[in-house]
Structure 1
């Protein structure tokens, strides 16, 4: 009898220990489960692309099953589209928190350009995902039902600060807000997408804090001078 009690207590202790030491415990919260899958899948797709990514590895890393992933996302391609949408959603959500409408037009433009530079620098997986989807010629992003809706606020924010700047006489008239957005994206995207080749060819440590700070200032100033009257 004492041996039985001892065995039960030992089993309970082992269970408690496993629960407290498990790095990614299972959860019955669907939203949390999906978020965990998206986080791991983002790294997997960014590193290996759609064709190279493996659902088995995503399932193992999230302590879920392939069946569970397919239940939530439908297919590997469905998960890939969800990852793309989530990447854009997170970026636009942070942009919305910049409160550009509370700043003078030129200061708002500077903040937006600096934020975009910092975001891209800190989120290389986002850049790799966009590059990967461009290699797919936008085939899967075209299947998203919300991607245009997610990106409309970004252009609206630029249009608003630009119109205020034109009205205040600090920005030149006749520019397209979408072109301003494209200019900011091009200048900030390149620093991550071409980091390795640029650094190798020109023998410059593009990851040094001094180089990053100088490049950031250059990008922001280029954008402002492009728009300034």
Structure 2
């Protein structure tokens, strides 16, 4: 007959197993939801389709997340936290303004490379006027912070030392950067179909990032 300590060890192992299984299920649902929201948008994505991707029941999804809207909001919040951490990891003040700006843009590219669904979800939500997460969207607040505390400081230094034109505005610049970055992730199939390239590398993400960065720096450079 097992000793009491054996009962305790077995119970602990079972509890850990359940926790591990629960965590795996949550991750599976989140991953499936990201793919479904990115490919179909919030309105067209259904709980049924998310559950099919995740191989879970609707009851289980509702148990963990409550509703499709709550799941969507959680993913955008997670995206916001990831973007803040990733883009903020570079000491931009340690570099000349033009180098810092290039790194800022490259970091945004890399962030979306790691999480391509987020670019599509962000655009989809913006097109719906943030109807699903409200005007206090965590992702929108992160973008505001990036403009004010990161990009704004880079632009200010660049204008002060004569690298950038005096009329370069951080808000305008951010949305130009955002447009250049998200174009590749949201429209690459069209770009690949229409554009004449020598090989796939001519229009891959690295090439697009390099071209976009060079274009941006040339556009705001002080020519005087």
**TM-score per shorter chain, which class?**
0.7 to 0.9
Q: Please tell me whether residue 88 in structure 1 is matched to residue 80 in structure 2.
A: yes
Change beyond 3 A, Cα 1:62–1:144: farther
Distance 2:114 2:217 in 1: 22
User: TM-score if structure 2 supplies the norm length?
Assistant: 0.75
- Of 181, 201, 220 in structure 1, the residue corresponding to residue 213 of structure 2 is 220
Q: 1:125–1:141: structure 2 CA closer, same or farther, 3 Å change rule?
A: same
Q: Where does structure 2 lack aligned partners over 5 or more consecutive residues?
A: 1-12
Per the normalisation by structure 1, the TM-score is 0.74
Q: Does the CA-based 8 Å contact 1:59-1:69 persist in structure 2?
A: yes
Aligned length: 207
**Higher mean displacement: 74-83 or 130-139:** 130-139
Question: What residue number does 1:114 align with?
Answer: 106
Alignment of 1:49-64 (within 5 A): 49-56=41-48, 58-59=50-51
Q: Deviations over 1:106-133 (max 9, x none)?
A: 1100111222233334433122212332
Name the residue aligned to 1:159.
152
Aligned to 1:140: 132
CA distance in 1, matches of 2:142, 2:169: 19
Q: Check the 8 A contact 2:33/2:50 in 1, yes or no.
A: yes
Unaligned runs of 5+ in 1: 1-15, 20-24
Q: CA deviation at 1:30?
A: 7.8
Match of 1:22 in 2: none
Task: Describe how 1:65-84 pairs up with structure 2 within 5 A.
Answer: 66-84=58-76
Note closer, same or farther for the CA distance 1:118–1:132 as it changes in structure 2 (3 Å cut).
Answer: same
Tell me, what secondary structure is at the counterpart of 1:223?
helix
Distance 1:150 1:38, change over 3 A: farther
| Farther off after superposition, 85-94 or 142-151 | 142-151
Aligned residues: CA RMSD: 3.3
Structure 1 range deviating more: 28-37 or 95-104: 28-37
SS of equivalent to 1:174: coil
- State the alpha-carbon separation in 2 of the partners of residues 161 and 129 from structure 1: 28
- The answer to whether the aligner puts 1:101 opposite 2:89 as a matched pair is no
